[in-house]
Structure 1
Amino acid sequence: MNDISNLIYELPKMKAGEELKSALEYIPHYDENIRMENDAMRLMELNELYNIYLPSEMSLEIYSKLYLAMLRSLQKKGTKLAIQQKNENFKAIQQSNYSGIIGGSDSFTIIGASGIGKSSAISRAISLITENRIIEVQNPYVKIIPCLISQCPFDCSAKGLLLEILRKVDELIGSKYYENALRARATTDMLIGNVSQVSLNHIGLLVVDEIQNICNNKSGNSLVAVLTQLINNSGISICMVGTPESSSFFEQAMQLARRSLGLHYSNMPYDNYFKEFCKTVFRFQYVKQRTELTDAVIEWLYEHSNGIISIVISLVHDAQEIAILNKKEILNIDTLNEAYKKRLNMLHDYLNPSIVINRQTSRHKKHKCLVEPCKIGILEADDKNSIVELAKIAKRQELDFLELLKERFSVTEVNV
């Protein structure tokens, strides 16, 4: 008979290294013969692209952080302090006067650009850690949710978030906390006590996604204060997930910054992982004419996605969809360009790579060349496209010097 003091042994063994990479990775089955099927079948199977998951360094770090945070929360359950905290929470529900006994700074953040795979990494890590099951303890009998994922309300309503936590707990373990809270018309103060008690009894780790909603809302500070109180009164770890704009909010004050220490990620660099990811995705071709992935196409994908994995998937998916529908039946630069212009036009202003690889596949702005032919001839003959002479021409004719430079040299732009 399992005991609550041995709760941590109910979790699967922590993985690391190649074993962890292999467990996190998911590559759907692909049959080469699908390319010969009818259009409808191929278009449906094309959606398998969205199921591809290759773990990166970010994935490994997120897995470790979530596992250890969950472990720390579960270790507190069943202790003497946890029992004392339960008694305090029960009194506080009546008096709205809370005091944290078991709490501490058990919150952290996972902050990264939209589309880089934060949510996918969290989902894969949690499914691996919890094996998608509820832990049942017999002595005393209680059901524990190792990890509960909720979402920050768009209006930053503290009451809305607390009720949503109760609703999800009911959904997973079959309780009636949400129904009882509605029937009692519980105030926010009462809900803090209720959710603290429920978290102490039934939740290991709480993940609050879309935390960037707090940035431009006057209720943002109140919501963070509620989460802080929840940590102090329940002892559970709380992970807040959001985009980089939430960093500026947490940096406003020391008490906020202390609660937001964690993992921060930017767009993916042009490295071996990105190349390997492109090679994996490119294997899933559903057009009739198969093409091989070249370095030029990988560079094009990086330049037009800004290193954002979800956009790479969208480009390859939409390019094939367009190629099937218009009967071109090939995945190449032309169909990728068509997908970029037609399907991703609303993202063009956001896709500004930190490094632009200047190759034949790079995007060039169309402009009228006003450089006098005779001057170019003199320049090439006398000084082999001297940068100084080119600068003089650009100044004299009021041209964009950088664009002229790109026409004659291999240029790499770096944002500083």
Structure 2
Amino acid sequence: MMMNNFFLPNGMGAVEAEYHEFPLEEYNSNPFIQALPPLIDKQTIIKKLMSPISYKEEERNMDSAYRLHLIHRLYKLFQPLPIHLSIWNTIHTLIYQGYIARNPFDKDYRRYINKTGKQIINRTFDINSRADFRTTANSATLIGYSGMGKTTTVGRVISNIPQIVVHNYYNYQHFNQIQLTHLTLQTPHNSSLKSLTLQFFMKIDELLGTNTFQKQVSRNLSTDAMLPLMGQVALNVGIGMLIIDEIQHLQNRGVQQMMNYFVTLMNSFGVPILFVGTPASYSVFQNEFRISRRVSGNGEIIWNNMENDKEFYFFLESIWRYQWNQKYVPLTKDLVDIFYEQTQGVSDLIVKLFVNVQEMCITNGKEEFTVDMIKRCAENQFRLMKPMLDAIRSKNIYKMAQFEDLRKIEYTSDIQISKPSKERIEVIQSKTKVVKEATKKITVHKKRNVKRVVDNGDDDIRVLLKISGDTTPYQLLVEKDYIDNMALWMEGEGK
């Protein structure tokens, strides 16, 4: 059946809840789960994700002025790869599993919501206390190179899940509830937890037409007071999953506080979280075992650049048919190799290079590109990215570590090992420099072989002892009044 779409009073689109029966027992008897789309197989997922673009062979004969615009259709193309299926399954698992413990028709869960709500109103809720609630919420991380399409892929996946679902009746019972299946937040550049909280309230108000943000700002509450309110709103609107994008913006001073709250959101309020970021964010999760254990609860998806293998060939082949030059150029091994050499398997750069080389051919009237033209085009268009591409091309971890977004994460014996961070390399280099300088000073000192000359005064004990001759040290010290003559003390005691 087709979903009944309508608009909320604020103009946002929503759907009326339709309940599906699942073969999994734990997914039934819960309106939050049953209102979600049915799970689908791999082939259907690929069809859902795929976004082909319009193309007709006769368009290659159009005037160049129009073809220069037609080639920009390539930016809208989305070709599913195996990693996209992993992201799809991870997101759906997070949302569906996270709702299991949050069944609004479960008496224990309703009791917990009421109890927590009263504590928040009375300001007795302790965010660090152990919640009397067994959550099924989990988290996952998506870490990958800039330009691989992390945010775009997450957006395409969640676009297949209605964001706002309105419930009216469930099993012939009144059930007036708005369900927000997912919400995306951007990590503040200053790692401010208050900024993240206010962003949360603003997004909720934008989607649902509420005035939560205005109320919280007018009350001028502290961050600690606002955090429980954020959790309460998450409970009230049945948030299925929080997506925290650009997590690499977290700075050292804000990591601990923000991560602690994310853990609390999962434990106390049952909200699953997907963290999305570049390799620079990997060290954020490795700093503390407790955080690492929680954020990798539903797995880690590591998205490095493509190797020059079957996957890269498949991706390039999928866009190759979209040529608007008058002379069609077949895909050869030389062309595959030059495209990899100039893009290093970064999805965004592959598409941009393919667009730009076609634009060059149309503009100069040659209407056919060659290996040399591709190389020249890349040199002109990717001039700013040359240091980064050279670092990837070198496969030198120290060069790549200069650009945090390019730090490659490898798998070794099923253990994920991160390459040394830029900070770590700087520490090592600094220590090496200190050792070298110290060694150099020692060497110079030995070469000079300069003896130290100390000018001691006449009353220096060391000088007196050297010139004492036959006089014993004791007699010398007595004569010079450094110590008392003990014989006089003995005679005094005899008297």
TM range (shorter): 0.7 to 0.9
Match of 1:59 in 2: 84
Q: Deviations over 1:179-214 (max 9, x none)?
A: 221222232122211110111122111100100111
For the pair 1:97 / 2:126, whether they are aligned, the reply is yes
| CA distance in structure 2 between the partners assigned to 1:140 and 1:180 by the alignment | 26
Is the 8 Å Cα contact of residues 196 and 234 (structure 1) preserved in structure 2? Answer: yes
Among residues 217, 225, 232, which one is paired with 1:197 in the alignment? 232
Question: How far did residue 73 of structure 1 move?
Answer: 2.2
Among residues 291, 294, 312, which one is paired with 2:350 in the alignment? 312
Match of 1:300 in 2: 338
Question: In 2 relative to 1, CA 53–276 (structure 1 residues): closer, same or farther, beyond 3 Å?
Answer: same
Matching of residues 231-246 of structure 1 within 5 Å: 231-246=266-281
Matching of residues 101-116 of structure 1 within 5 Å: 101-102=132-133, 103=135, 106-116=138-148
Higher relative contact order (CA 8 A, sep 6+): 1
Question: In 2 relative to 1, CA 196–122 (structure 1 residues): closer, same or farther, beyond 3 Å?
Answer: same
Question: In 2 relative to 1, CA 89–300 (structure 1 residues): closer, same or farther, beyond 3 Å?
Answer: farther
What SS class does the counterpart of residue 95 from structure 1 fall into?
coil
What one-letter code is carried by the residue in structure 1 that aligns with 2:167? V
Is the 8 Å Cα contact of residues 320 and 335 (structure 1) preserved in structure 2? Answer: no
What SS class does the counterpart of residue 98 from structure 2 fall into?
helix
Q: Deviations over 1:49-80 (max 9, x none)?
A: 11111111111111111101101222314134
| CA distance in structure 2 between the partners assigned to 1:225 and 1:351 by the alignment | 36
Identity of aligned residues (%): 26
Match of 1:16 in 2: 41
For the pair 1:181 / 2:181, whether they are aligned, the reply is no
Q: Deviations over 1:100-143 (max 9, x none)?
A: 33346622211122222222221121112x1x441112243121
Match of 2:367 in 1: 329
| CA distance in structure 2 between the partners assigned to 1:188 and 1:244 by the alignment | 29
| CA distance in structure 2 between the partners assigned to 1:86 and 1:251 by the alignment | 36
Is the 8 Å Cα contact of residues 26 and 51 (structure 1) preserved in structure 2? Answer: yes
| CA distance in structure 2 between the partners assigned to 1:188 and 1:107 by the alignment | 23
| CA distance in structure 1 between the partners assigned to 2:371 and 2:99 by the alignment | 51
Among residues 156, 177, 196, which one is paired with 1:124 in the alignment? 156
What one-letter code is carried by the residue in structure 2 that aligns with 1:15? I
Question: In 2 relative to 1, CA 338–159 (structure 1 residues): closer, same or farther, beyond 3 Å?
Answer: same
Question: How far did residue 340 of structure 1 move?
Answer: 0.9
Match of 1:34 in 2: 59
Is the 8 Å Cα contact of residues 137 and 270 (structure 2) preserved in structure 1? Answer: no
| CA distance in structure 2 between the partners assigned to 1:85 and 1:227 by the alignment | 19
Match of 2:167 in 1: 137
Q: Deviations over 1:270-293 (max 9, x none)?
A: 222221211121211122332111
Question: How far did residue 221 of structure 1 move?
Answer: 2.1
What SS class does the counterpart of residue 218 from structure 1 fall into?
helix
Match of 1:377 in 2: none
For the pair 1:349 / 2:384, whether they are aligned, the reply is no
Q: Deviations over 1:285-341 (max 9, x none)?
A: 122332111111111111221111111011111212233333333233233222211
| CA distance in structure 2 between the partners assigned to 1:233 and 1:126 by the alignment | 25
CA RMSD of aligned residues (A): 2.3
Is the 8 Å Cα contact of residues 99 and 137 (structure 2) preserved in structure 1? Answer: no
Q: Deviations over 1:253-277 (max 9, x none)?
A: 1112112312222222222222121
Q: Deviations over 1:153-192 (max 9, x none)?
A: 1111111111111111222222221222122223212221
| CA distance in structure 1 between the partners assigned to 2:270 and 2:328 by the alignment | 55
Question: In 2 relative to 1, CA 213–81 (structure 1 residues): closer, same or farther, beyond 3 Å?
Answer: farther
| CA distance in structure 2 between the partners assigned to 1:81 and 1:267 by the alignment | 47
For the pair 1:277 / 2:307, whether they are aligned, the reply is no
What SS class does the counterpart of residue 219 from structure 1 fall into?
helix
Is the 8 Å Cα contact of residues 94 and 137 (structure 2) preserved in structure 1? Answer: no
What SS class does the counterpart of residue 284 from structure 1 fall into?
coil
What SS class does the counterpart of residue 99 from structure 2 fall into?
helix
Unaligned runs of 5+ in 2: 1-16, 20-28, 169-173, 395-495
Q: Which has the larger radius of gyration?
A: 2
Question: How far did residue 151 of structure 1 move?
Answer: 1.0
Query: How high is the TM-score relative to the length of structure 2?
Result: 0.67
What SS class does the counterpart of residue 239 from structure 1 fall into?
strand
Question: In 2 relative to 1, CA 81–329 (structure 1 residues): closer, same or farther, beyond 3 Å?
Answer: farther
Match of 2:8 in 1: none
Is the 8 Å Cα contact of residues 145 and 204 (structure 1) preserved in structure 2? Answer: yes
What SS class does the counterpart of residue 360 from structure 2 fall into?
helix
| CA distance in structure 1 between the partners assigned to 2:228 and 2:46 by the alignment | 40
Is the 8 Å Cα contact of residues 192 and 230 (structure 1) preserved in structure 2? Answer: no
What SS class does the counterpart of residue 240 from structure 1 fall into?
strand
For the pair 1:45 / 2:74, whether they are aligned, the reply is no
Q: Deviations over 1:355-382 (max 9, x none)?
A: 89xxxxxxxxxxxxxxxxxxxxxxxxxx
Question: In 2 relative to 1, CA 217–15 (structure 1 residues): closer, same or farther, beyond 3 Å?
Answer: same
Question: In 2 relative to 1, CA 186–39 (structure 1 residues): closer, same or farther, beyond 3 Å?
Answer: farther
Is the 8 Å Cα contact of residues 248 and 278 (structure 2) preserved in structure 1? Answer: yes
Match of 1:256 in 2: 291
What SS class does the counterpart of residue 55 from structure 1 fall into?
coil
